[in-house]
C-alpha cells in the first residue's frame, strides 16, 4: 500500500492535485449539504417562527413548521435532479474544467444567500440557497467523476474513481464536525456553517485554473491532438504517452462521425443494455440499501446504549469518521481487488448485518446488552457500505461506456440517485412509523437483489477500456444464451420428433 501511494505521489503529482482540487468542489459539496442540516435544525426552526411572527404576527403550529422544514431539506434533491439533467449539454459545450469553474460561481451565490438569511429575517433565502446548492451538487457529481476518470491513467482509474465517494464521505464527516457547539453549531454562527460550501467553492475556483483540461475531451470531443498530448505530459509526466494516445485515437476512429447520444438513444441501444442495467441496478441499490435508515436509527441506538443527549453529536462523529477512513482504505485496495469483488463483498456483508440489526433492534428493550450490539452492527454496516458499494458504484457510469454515451449514462445515473434520495427522505419516516425495526427487511431485499445481479450478470472491469468492457459483457451473456440454447435442444419438441 505504501509503495502504491509513493508511486502515485512521485509519478503522478498533478493527478494527486487533481484528485484534491476536483474533489473539494465536487462530491464534497454533495456530502456536506446532505449532512449539514441536522445540527442547526433547531435554530432554523426558530428563524422560521420569528419570521412569521415579525411579518404576520402568527406562531406556526408544529405541523406547519415540520412541513416547511421537510420542504427546506428536500428541495436540495429537486435542485440536484435539475443539475444532473443540465450537466450533459454543459459538459459537451464547455468541457469538464470550465463546467467545474462555472459551477463554483453558482455555489458561491447560494452561500451568500445563506449568510444573509438571518440579517434579512428570511427563511425563504435558505430554501433558495438549498435549491442552488442542489443544482451545483447535481452538476458537480457528474463533472467531478468524468473529469477525474479522464485525467487518470488506465491502471489507476479504479483507485482514483473511489476518491469520488471518499470526498462525499469526507463532506458528511466535516459537516458533523463543524456542527458541534465548539465550532459553528451555535445560535450566532450557524449561518456560517450553512455557508461553508462557498469557501470550498472559492478554494477550487482559485486552484483549478492551474490544472489542464481532460485529455480525452480535448482529443475525442475537440479533435485537438496537440492539446491532448500537452495535457497528458502535464498530468502523467514528460514521457512517451503514444500508446495511450493511440488507444484514444482507436476509440475516436470507432466513433468517427458518431455524435454524443441522448438518454433516449442510449436506452434504445440493445448492444449496451447490460451496461445500462448494471448502472440502473447499482445506483438504485446505492440509495435503497439502507445506509440512510442506519443513520436515522443511529441516535435512537446511541440513546439506548446510555449515551447522554448532549453527547450524541460527538458519538455520531464516529460514524462519519468510520465511513471516511473506510473509503480511504477502499481507495488503496481497489486496484488489487477489483470492483466486482468489492461490490459482492459489500452487499453480502450488508445483507448479513441488516438481518442481525433487525433482530437486535426488535429485542433491545428486553435484553440490556443488545443496544451495544446494535451500535457495533451500525458501524459494521457503514464499514461494508464504504468499503464496497460507495466507492465502486460512483465511477461505474464513466467506466462502462464509450465517450459518446458517457454524458447520457451520467444523466441516468444521477437522475436515479436524486430521485431515490428524495423518495427515501419523504417516505422513510412513514415506513419507520409503521414497520419500526422491520423496515430494514425492505432494504435487505435491495441488497440481496443487487448482489445477485452483479454476481451473475457483471464481469470484472479492472484495468479495461470501455470497448474491452463491452466485449466482456458480450462474452458473458453470449455464454449464457448458448447454455440456454443447449438446454432447449436437449428436450426436442414434439414436432421435431415427428
Is the pLDDT assigned to residue 482 strictly greater than 70? no
Separation CA 452–CA 454 (nearest Å): 5
What's the pLDDT score for residue 97? 95
C-alpha cell at 214: 481532460
What's the pLDDT score for residue 295? 72
Angle at which helices 62-94 and 403-435 cross, to 10°? 170
For the chain, the average pLDDT equals 86
Least confident residue range of 56-70, 349-363, 403-417, 422-436: 422-436
Q: DSSP letter string over 339-391? A: HHHHHHHHHHHHHHHHHHHHHHHHHTTTSTTHHHHHHHHHHHHHHHHHHTHHH
Does a structural domain hold residue 483? no
Is the pLDDT assigned to residue 107 strictly greater than 90? yes
Is the pLDDT assigned to residue 425 strictly greater than 60? yes
Backbone φ and ψ for 404, nearest 5 degrees, come out as: -75, -15
Q: With bands split at pLDDT 50, 70 and 90, how would you rate the model's confidence at 495?
A: very low
Looking at the structure, tell me whether residues 321 and 434 fall in a common domain: yes
Please identify, among 171, 206, 240, the residue that sits at the C-terminal boundary of a domain. Answer: 240
What's the pLDDT score for residue 154? 80
Residue 458 in 3-state DSSP? coil
Looking at the structure, tell me whether residues 404 and 284 fall in a common domain: yes
Looking at the structure, tell me whether residues 231 and 270 fall in a common domain: no
Q: Which residues contact 208 (CB under 8 A, 6 or more apart)?
A: 21, 22, 25, 97, 100, 101, 104
Does a structural domain hold residue 486? no
Is the pLDDT assigned to residue 485 strictly greater than 80? no
Is the pLDDT assigned to residue 494 strictly greater than 70? no
Does a structural domain hold residue 58? yes
Looking at the structure, tell me whether residues 401 and 430 fall in a common domain: yes
Looking at the structure, tell me whether residues 210 and 269 fall in a common domain: no
The larger pLDDT score, comparing residue 301 to residue 19, is at 19
How large is the greatest C-alpha to C-alpha distance in the chain, in angstroms?
90
Looking at the structure, tell me whether residues 90 and 169 fall in a common domain: yes
Does a structural domain hold residue 376? yes
C-alpha cell at 423: 423518495
What's the pLDDT score for residue 10? 56
Please identify, among 209, 240, 271, the residue that sits at the C-terminal boundary of a domain. Answer: 240
Q: What sign has the CA pseudo-torsion 47, 51, 52, 54?
A: positive
Looking at the structure, tell me whether residues 217 and 281 fall in a common domain: no
What's the pLDDT score for residue 487? 45
Looking at the structure, tell me whether residues 194 and 269 fall in a common domain: no
Is the pLDDT assigned to residue 410 strictly greater than 70? yes
Q: With bands split at pLDDT 50, 70 and 90, how would you rate the model's confidence at 371?
A: confident
Task: Find the domain containing 156 and state its range.
Answer: 10-240
Least confident residue range of 114-118, 402-406, 410-414: 402-406
Does a structural domain hold residue 348? yes
The larger pLDDT score, comparing residue 195 to residue 301, is at 195
Looking at the structure, tell me whether residues 332 and 380 fall in a common domain: yes
Average pLDDT for residues 426-451, to the nearest whole number? Answer: 84
Residue 6 in 3-state DSSP? helix
What's the pLDDT score for residue 41? 87
Backbone φ and ψ for 13, nearest 5 degrees, come out as: -65, -35
Q: What sign has the CA pseudo-torsion 461, 464, 469, 475?
A: negative
- The pTM (predicted TM-score) of the whole model is 0.84
**Residues 459/305, Cβ–Cβ less than 8 Å:** no
Separation CA 220–CA 216 (nearest Å): 6
Average pLDDT for residues 95-123, to the nearest whole number? Answer: 95
What's the pLDDT score for residue 29? 96
**Cβ neighbour number for residue 19 with a 10 Å cutoff:** 23
What's the pLDDT score for residue 335? 67
Q: With bands split at pLDDT 50, 70 and 90, how would you rate the model's confidence at 403?
A: confident
**Cβ neighbour number for residue 118 with a 10 Å cutoff:** 20
Looking at the structure, tell me whether residues 316 and 421 fall in a common domain: yes
Closest by CA to 26, choosing from 128, 161, 131, is 161
Does a structural domain hold residue 254? no
Separation CA 134–CA 69 (nearest Å): 16
Average pLDDT for residues 6-33, to the nearest whole number? Answer: 86
Average pLDDT for residues 51-64, to the nearest whole number? Answer: 87
What's the pLDDT score for residue 437? 75
Q: What sign has the CA pseudo-torsion 407, 408, 409, 410?
A: positive
Is the pLDDT assigned to residue 241 strictly greater than 90? no
Looking at the structure, tell me whether residues 129 and 266 fall in a common domain: no
Convert the pLDDT of each residue in 274-315 to its tens digit: 999 999 999 999 989 988 777 766 777 777 666 777 777 787
What Cα–Cα distance (Å) separates residue 311 from each residue in 163, 174, 181? 31, 17, 11
Q: Cell 453480502 identifies what position?
A: 348
Please identify, among 211, 240, 269, the residue that sits at the C-terminal boundary of a domain. Answer: 240
Looking at the structure, tell me whether residues 66 and 29 fall in a common domain: yes
What Cα–Cα distance (Å) separates residue 428 from each residue in 97, 294, 321, 377, 489? 37, 11, 24, 20, 49
Average pLDDT for residues 362-372, to the nearest whole number? Answer: 84
Does a structural domain hold residue 318? yes
DSSP element (H, E) containing 96: helix 96-116
Average pLDDT for residues 229-247, to the nearest whole number? Answer: 89
Is the pLDDT assigned to residue 91 strictly greater than 90? no
Does a structural domain hold residue 129? yes
Q: With bands split at pLDDT 50, 70 and 90, how would you rate the model's confidence at 4?
A: low
Is the pLDDT assigned to residue 441 strictly greater than 70? yes
Average pLDDT for residues 83-108, to the nearest whole number? Answer: 92
**Tell me, what DSSP letter sits at residue 58?**
-
What's the pLDDT score for residue 493? 44
Residue 119 in 3-state DSSP? coil
Number of folded domains in the chain?
2
Is the pLDDT assigned to residue 497 strictly greater than 50? no
Q: Which residues contact 128 (CB under 8 A, 6 or more apart)?
A: 110, 113
Specify the CATH number for the domain of residue 357: 1.20.1250.20
Percent above pLDDT 90 for the chain = 41
What's the pLDDT score for residue 108? 97
Amino acid at each position: 500500500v505504501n509503495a502504491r501511494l509513493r508511486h502515485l505521489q512521485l509519478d503522478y503529482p498533478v493527478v494527486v492535485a487533481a484528485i484534491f482540487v476536483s474533489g473539494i468542489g465536487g462530491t464534497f459539496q454533495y456530502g456536506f449539504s446532505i449532512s449539514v442540516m441536522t445540527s442547526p435544525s433547531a435554530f432554523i426552526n426558530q428563524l422560521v417562527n420569528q419570521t412569521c411572527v415579525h411579518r404576520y404576527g402568527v406562531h406556526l403550529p408544529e405541523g406547519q413548521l415540520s412541513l416547511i422544514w421537510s420542504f427546506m431539506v428536500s428541495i436540495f434533491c429537486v435542485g440536484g435532479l435539475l443539475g444532473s439533467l443540465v450537466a450533459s449539454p454543459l459538459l459537451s459545450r464547455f468541457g469538464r474544467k470550465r463546467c467545474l469553474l462555472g459551477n463554483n460561481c453558482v455555489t458561491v451565490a447560494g452561500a451568500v444567500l445563506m449568510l444573509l438569511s438571518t440579517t434579512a429575517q428570511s427563511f425563504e433565502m435558505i430554501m433558495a440557497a438549498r435549491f442552488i446548492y442542489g443544482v451545483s451538487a447535481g452538476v458537480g457529481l457528474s463533472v467531478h467523476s468524468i473529469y477525474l476518470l479522464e485525467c487518470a491513467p488506465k491502471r489507476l482509474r479504479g483507485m482514483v474513481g473511489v476518491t469520488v465517494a471518499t470526498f462525499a464521505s469526507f463532506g458528511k464527516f466535516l459537516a458533523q464536525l463543524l456542527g458541534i457547539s465548539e465550532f459553528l453549531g451555535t445560535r450566532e454562527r450557524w449561518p456560517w456553517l450553512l455557508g461553508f460550501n462557498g469557501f470550498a467553492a472559492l478554494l477550487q475556483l482559485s486552484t483549478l485554473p492551474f490544472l489542464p483540461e481532460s485529455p480525452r475531451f480535448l482529443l475525442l470531443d475537440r479533435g485537438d491532438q496537440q492539446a491532448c498530448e500537452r495535457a497528458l505530459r502535464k498530468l502523467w509526466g514528460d514521457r512517451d504517452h503514444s500508446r495511450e494516445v493511440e488507444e484514444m485515437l482507436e476509440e475516436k476512429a470507432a466513433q468517427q462521425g458518431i455524435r454524443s447520444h441522448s438518454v433516449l438513444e442510449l436506452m434504445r441501444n440493445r448492444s449496451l443494455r447490460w451496461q445500462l442495467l448494471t448502472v440502473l441496478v447499482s445506483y438504485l441499490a446505492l440509495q435503497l440499501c439502507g445506509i440512510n435508515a442506519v443513520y436515522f436509527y443511529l441516535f435512537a441506538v446511541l440513546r439506548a446504549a446510555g449515551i447522554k443527549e448532549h453527547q450524541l453529536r460527538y458519538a455520531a462523529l464516529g460514524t462519519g469518521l468510520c465511513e471516511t477512513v473506510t473509503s480511504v482504505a477502499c481507495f488503496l485496495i481497489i486496484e488489487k481487488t477489483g470492483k466486482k469483488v468489492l461490490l459482492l463483498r459489500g452487499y453480502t456483508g450488508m445483507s448479513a448485518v441488516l438481518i442481525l440489526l433487525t433482530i437486535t433492534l426488535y429485542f433491545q428493550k428486553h435484553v440490556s446488552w443488545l443496544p451495544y450490539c446494535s451500535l457495533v452492527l451500525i458501524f459494521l454496516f457503514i464499514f461494508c457500505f464504504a468499503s464496497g458499494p460507495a466507492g465502486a458504484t460512483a465511477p461505474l457510469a464513466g467506466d462502462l461506456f464509450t465517450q459518446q454515451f458517457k454524458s447520457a449514462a451520467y444523466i441516468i445515473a444521477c437522475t436515479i440517485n436524486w430521485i431515490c434520495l428524495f423518495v427515501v427522505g419523504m417516505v422513510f419516516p412513514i415506513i419507520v412509523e409503521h414497520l419500526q425495526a422491520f423496515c430494514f427487511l425492505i432494504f435487505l431485499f435491495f441488497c440481496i437483489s443487487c448482489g445477485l445481479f452483479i454476481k451473475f450478470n457483471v464481469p470484472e472491469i479492472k484495468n479495461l477500456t470501455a470497448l474491452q468492457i463491452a466485449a466482456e459483457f458480450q462474452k458473458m451473456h453470449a455464454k449464457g444464451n448458448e447454455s440456454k440454447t443447449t438446454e432447449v435442444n436437449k428436450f426436442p419438441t414434439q414436432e421435431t420428433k415427428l
